Structure 1
Amino acid sequence: MDFKQLKALVTVAEVGSVTRAAEVLYLAQPAVTRQIRALERELGVVLFERTREGMRPTEAGAVVVHHGRRALHALERARADVQPTPGVVTGNVTLGLLESTSDLLVEPLVAVLADEHPGIRLRLVIGYSGHLRQWLDDGDLDLAVLYNLGSTPSLNTHPLLRERLWAVAPASDGLRGDRPIPFAEAADHPLVMPAADHALRTLVDGAAAQAKVELDVAVETNSMRVQKQLVQAGHGWTVLPGVGVAEEVAAGLLSAAPLGDPEVRRSIVLAAPRITRSLAAVNVVARTLIHQVLSAVAEGRWPSAQARPPHS
C-alpha cells in the first residue's frame, strides 16, 4: 500500500468515477485502474462496485477510504511541517463549527485568513457538538467549537463564552430580547425540539425538571434550520441560542426572548486533540477564531453571551 494507491482510492471515492479521478490526478485512466486493482489484490477485498451513479465504495472499501483519507491528511500536515516557507504560515486546517455559530463566524474568519494568511487552506465542517467531539477524537478535525464539554484527557480546551438559551416563537407572538420569559411560559406551547440524544435537548429537559413542568414536544428534528422553519410556520415554539436566531429576529421572521426561572445556559469552548502537536497554521486559525468570538461578544453581536477568561 503506497501513497499513489491511497490517493487514487480516495479520489475515485470522492468523485465517483475512474475517468474523472484520472483527470483530477493528471494520470491516464488505466494507471488509476491499476492502482485500485493492485490495492484490492494486496488487501484481498473488492473496494468498489459499479452503479448507475458511478463507482461506489463497498463496505470494505468505505473502511479503507476512511483510513486512507486520514493517512493522506497526516502526510500533508507532515509535509507542511518540515517544508515551511520562511515567514509564511501554510498548511491545511480542518475546523468544526456548531450550526448555531456558523452564520456569525464563518465569513469573518475566512475573510481574515484570506487577507492575512493566504497560505492556509481551511476546511469547515458543520455539525452537532457530540459529532464534532467524536471527529476530534478520531483525528478528523484539528479544532472544533463545542459546548458543555466536561473534563476530558483527550482534548485541550480554551473557554470562550457562556450564553443563555432563548425561547423562539412566531413573530406575531411578540417575544422581545429585553424581556426574559419564565421557562414555564415557554413550556405551555407545543415545542419543536431536537431528539432526546441531542446536547441542547438535554439542557432543556434538565430545565424542565427544575421548573417542574412537562414539555409538549410536537415535533423532533436535529436540524436547526427545520426548527426555525416550523416555528415560523406556526407549528410551535422552540428553544435555541440567541446567536442562532439573531438574523431571523432582526428580519422580523421570528421573535425571541431569553429564558428565565430557571435560566438555561451553555458554555462554549474551542477544543483540539491533546496528543497532536499543533502546526503553526492550526495555531493561527485558533487565535483568529478566538478573536472573532470575543469581538462578536464585545460588540453585542452574540446575544446573551459573556466572554470567559481561559482559566475561569
Structure 2
Amino acid sequence: MDVRQLRAIVTVAEVGSVTRAAEVLHLVQPAVTRQIRTLEQELGVPLFERTAQGMRPTEAGVIMVDRARRALNELERARAEVQPTLGEVTGIVTVGLLDSTSDLLAEPLVTAVARDHPGVVLRLMTAYSGHLQQWLDDGDLDLALLYDLDSTPSLNTRILVRERLWVVAPPSAGLRADVAVPLAEAARHPLVMPAAGHALRGLVDAAAARAGVEVRVAVQTNSLRVQKQLVLAGHGWTVLPGVGIADDAALGIVSAAPLSEPEVWRSIVLAAARSGRTPPAVVTVAAELVRQVGSAVAGGRWPSAWIEGTEGLAGGD
C-alpha cells in the first residue's frame, strides 16, 4: 500500500470516474486502474463497483476511502510543519464553525490569519454542534466551536461566550429587540424548530417544561437558513440564537426579540482534541478565533452575548 494508491481511491471516490480521476491526478487511465486493482488484490476485497452513475465505493471501499483521506491529510500537514520558513508558523488547520456563527466569524478569521500568518492554511467546515463534535472526535477537525458542552475524556473545552436565544417572526409581527417576548406568547404560534435531539431544540423543550408551556411544532428542519425561510413564508415563528439573525433583523427581513419567561441561554465553547502535542499552527489559529469572537461581541455584532468572565452584557438586547 502506497501513497499513490491512496490518492487514486480517494480521487475516484470523489469524482466517480477513473477517467476523470486520471485527469485530476495527471496520469493515464490504465495507471489509475492498476493502482486500484493492486490495492484490491492486496486487501482481498473489491473497493469499487461500476454503476450507471459511475464508480461507487463498496462497503469496504467506503472504509478505505475515509481512512485514506485522513492519512493523506496527515501527510500533507506533516509536510507543511517540517518545511517551515524560519520564524514563521506554518501548517494546515481545520476549523469547525457553528452554522449560526459562520457569517459572523469566517471572513474575519480567514482575513486575520492570511494577514498575520501567511504560512498557515485554513480549512473551514460549518455544521451543527453535534456534527462538529463527531468530526472533532474522529480527528477530522483540529478546533471547533460547540455549544453547551463540558470537557470530555476526548476533548478540552473553554467557554468563550454565553448568548441568549431570540424569538424570530415575520416583519409583520413587529417584534423588537428592546421588548422581550415570553415563551408562552411565542408558543401561541406554530413553531418551526429543529428535530428532537438537536441541542437547540433541547434547550427550548426544557424551558417549555419548566414554564409549563405547551409548544406546537409545525415544521422540523435542521437548517438555520430553512428555519428563517419557513418563518418568512408564514409557517410559524421560531427560536434562534441572536448571532444567527442579527443581520436579518437589522435589515428588516425578520423581526426578532429576546426570549423571556424563562430566558434561555447557550454557551459557546472552543473545543480541541486532547492530545500529547498541539501543533503551533493550531495554537495560533485558536488564539485568533478567540480574538475574533471577543471583537464581534465587543463591537455589538453578536446580540445578547456575554464574554465569559466579564460583568456586563455586550451587544445589548
TM-score normalised per structure 1 = 0.96
Deviations 1:122-175 (A, max 9, x none): 111111111111111111111110000023121111211000000001111011
2:61 matched to which residue of 1? Answer: 61
Displacement, 1:234?
A: 1.3
How far the C-alpha of 1:188 sits from its partner, in A, is 1.3
Moved more, 49-58 or 121-130: 49-58
Q: Distance in 2 between matches of 1:28 and 1:232?
A: 52
Match of 2:33 in 1: 33
Quick one: which amino acid aligns to residue 266 of structure 1? R
Paired residue type of 1:98: L
User: 2:91 is matched with which residue?
Assistant: 91
SS at match of 2:215: coil
- Secondary structure of 2:106's match? helix
Match of 1:287 in 2: 287
Residue pair 2:150, 2:157 contacting (<8 A) in 1 also: no
- 1:159–1:309 Cα contact (<8 Å) kept: no
**In the alignment, which residue of structure 2 is the partner of 1:80?**
80
**Aligned counterparts of 2:276 and 2:165: Cα–Cα separation in 1:** 33
Q: Would the aligned equivalents of 1:8 and 1:35 in 2 still touch at CA under 8 Å?
A: yes
Aligned to 1:303: 303
Separation of aligned partners in 1, 2:16 and 2:220: 34
Question: 263-272 vs 51-60, which deviates more?
Answer: 51-60
Q: Is the 8 A contact 2:204 2:264 kept in 1?
A: yes
Provide the residue aligned with 2:16 in structure 1.
16
**Aligned counterpart, 2:138:** 138
Q: Which amino acid aligns with 1:5?
A: Q
SS of corresponding position for 2:88? coil
Q: CA separation in 2, counterparts of 1:57 and 1:93?
A: 28
Q: For the structure 1 residues 53 and 118, does the alpha-carbon distance in structure 2 shift closer, same or farther, using more than 3 Å as the test?
A: farther
Cα shift at 1:211: 0.7
Q: Which moved more, 1:235-244 or 1:118-127?
A: 118-127
Residues 186-240 of structure 1, C-alpha deviations (whole Å, 9 max, x = no match)? 1111100000010000000000011101001111111111100010111110000
CA separation in 1, counterparts of 2:213 and 2:170?
Answer: 22
Q: Which residue of 2 aligns with 1:277?
A: 277
Is 1:202–2:231 an aligned residue pair?
no
**Counterparts of 2:218 and 2:276 in 1: how far apart (Å)?**
44
Contact 1:133 1:144 in 2 (8 A): yes
Structure 1: tracts of 5 or more residues without a match: none
Name the SS of the counterpart of 2:240 in structure 1: strand
Distance in 1 between residues matched to 2:17 and 2:281, nearest whole Å: 32
Corresponding residue for residue 164 of structure 1:
164
- Please state how far the C-alpha of 1:4 moved relative to its aligned partner: 1.5
- Report the 3-state secondary structure (helix = DSSP H, G, I; strand = E; otherwise coil) of the residue aligned with 1:161: strand
Q: Which amino acid aligns with 1:218?
A: A
1:9 Cα offset (Å): 1.1
**Distance in 1 separating the partners of 2:208 and 2:126:** 28
1:190 correspondence with 2:198: no
Residues 127 and 276 of structure 1: CA distance in aligned 2, closer, same or farther (over 3 Å): farther
Q: Give the 3 Å change call, closer, same or farther, for CA 276–11 of structure 1 in structure 2.
A: farther
RMSD: 1.4
Displacement of 1:276: 5.2
Separation (CA, whole Å) in 2 of partners of 1:309 and 1:109: 23
Q: Which amino acid is the alignment partner of residue 60 of structure 1?
A: A
> Does 2:267 correspond to 1:267?
yes
Return the offset for 1:111. Answer: 1.5
Provide the residue aligned with 2:313 in structure 1.
Answer: none
Q: Which amino acid letter does the alignment assign opposite residue 86 of structure 1? A: L
Which stretches in structure 2 are left out of the alignment for 5+ residues? 311-317
For 1:9, the aligned partner's letter is I
- C-alpha contact 2:97 2:125 (8 A) present in aligned 1: yes
Alpha-carbon distance in structure 1 between the residues aligned to 2:81 and 2:259: 47
CA contact (8 A) 1:159 1:269 kept: yes
- SS of the counterpart of 1:272? strand
Aligned to 2:174: 174
